[in-house]
Structure 1
Amino acid sequence: MAAFIAKQMVGDQLKSVKAMGGDEGEKEGNENAEEEAAAIEEARREAEERRKEKHRKMEEEREEMRQTIRDKYGLKKKVKEEPEAEADLDEGRVGRKKKTKEELAAEANEEEDDDEFAKFPTDLSDLTTKVSELPQKMAASVGEVTEKCSLQ
């Protein structure tokens, strides 16, 4: 037990001495770590390139095999339909077409414009009558306020 305690006390002192001179080693360790990280990244990139090349070659071989089967049995290669053909399907659609963001924004702007103009009367005669009634309404509202309020 005494040996363990002695080792603990001396060991702590040795660690502090090593820490004083060990700063250079840590700097080298950081540089080595950066170099290792760069090397690992490069290795990953190369592995990814090899994998892509392998899959490309496999797909070419498969396509050659498919072509030999097509030639043997007289089959034609399927051609993918273009997006224009899909647009034709939308025309025969029973339901409504979804509106784009631009269409929705345009409709919202039109509604706002309609709301702004709805406040104004459409005829000039309506406008003149409302303007002529305005001073009378103001006087009536001021009269009501003065009746309710009393100065003390």
Structure 2
Amino acid sequence: MAAFIAKQMVGNQLKSVTGAIGDKDEEGKKNEEGDEDEDPEIAEARREAEEKRKDKHRKMEEEREELRQSIRDKYGLKKREKTPEEEVAQPLAEGRIGRKKKTPAELAAENNADSDDDELSSFPKNLTELQSKVSELPTKLAAGVGEVTQKCVVQ
């Protein structure tokens, strides 16, 4: 307990001393904010390097597209045309691992298809429909048995 109290007292005094000398954390913050104080020549060199990098990647992508086109021509493949929905969804899907997100139109169509295929949609709504379906069962069963006996002959 006494060691804890002593550490607290000495620790607080050391923090005030390091703050006066200059802490590494403060220097890190200055470097992050130091873009305004950066030498104009360095800023220009950084901008030029970024432009060179972008130009290099643009040229590489053009070369790749030429190679893709030569492969398409060689094997008679057609270039896949992107729909407007795919073009909008692509930036969001970049770096995404799972499947693409469904559009509201696709979700609505899927819900309509599910509601049509529901097992409960064929279920009778009232008691009279249920009674009529139950009364039809023996006749359907007899007809099914009759068909089977006609097709299957025991020898």
TM-score between both structures, scaled by the size of structure 2: 0.35
Asked which structure has the greater CA Rg, the reply is 1
Structure with the bigger percentage of helix: 1
